[in-house]
Amino acid sequence: MKLILAIVNNDDAPIVTTQLTKAGFNTTKVASTGGFLMSGNTTFITGVDDDKVDSVIDIISRFSKKRMQPSVAGIQHHTMSGINTQHTQVTEVLVGGGTIFVLNIERFEHV
Ligand code: 2BA
């Protein structure tokens, strides 16, 4: 048995949930926050038999889109006179589709 942790964009979370459920997979959604953009995303926790891992990854891949998202950085300027100024710079980063981890499960109990 494997545990699949999949981080997907919040905008794709509803369709990924629908499709996983439709295909018969039990999944749990956890609200999460990306460390870089510090914006919300969704982590799916899905436990499956080994032979079903590829089906889950396939569903997540098909319904998680890549997209550009703004990334805001604070830029500090140090002048010769010692006065520090700061301005923000907005760039864009490519996010997703999904970031997927597959872990071995030592033991599973559903009591
Ligand atoms: P964030 O950490 O908010 O990252 C959003 C996007 O920013 C990333 O997209 C990547 O394109 C960019 N990025 C992340 N760290 C960066 C850095 N140090 N310098 C420059 N650009 C950076 P994705 O790679 O598609 O990741 C989407 C989300 O998946 C991440 O949101 C994070 O929540 C999660 N994630 C990605 N890789 C991970 C990993 N190795 N471990 C745990 N979570 C991960």
- Provide long-range contacts, Cβ within 8 A and 24+ apart, for 85-94: 92/68, 93/36, 93/37, 93/68, 93/69, 94/66, 94/67, 94/68
Summarize pLDDT for 43-91 with one digit per residue, the tens.
999 999 999 999 999 999 999 999 999 998 877 777 777 777 778 888 9
Stated as kind and residue range, the H or E segment containing 33 is strand 28-33
Residue 111 vs residues 5, 32, 107, 108: alpha-carbon distances, Å: 22, 27, 13, 10
Atom of ligand 1 nearest to the CA of 71: 7
Summarize pLDDT for 20-51 with one digit per residue, the tens.
999 999 999 999 999 999 999 999 999 999 99
Residue 71 to residue 91: CA distance in whole angstroms: 5
Supply the pTM of this predicted model. 0.89
Atom of ligand 1 nearest to the CA of 66: 25
Q: Is 41 in the pocket of ligand 1 (CB under 6 A)?
A: yes
Percent of the chain with pLDDT strictly greater than 70: 100
- The whole-number pLDDT of residue 88 equals 83
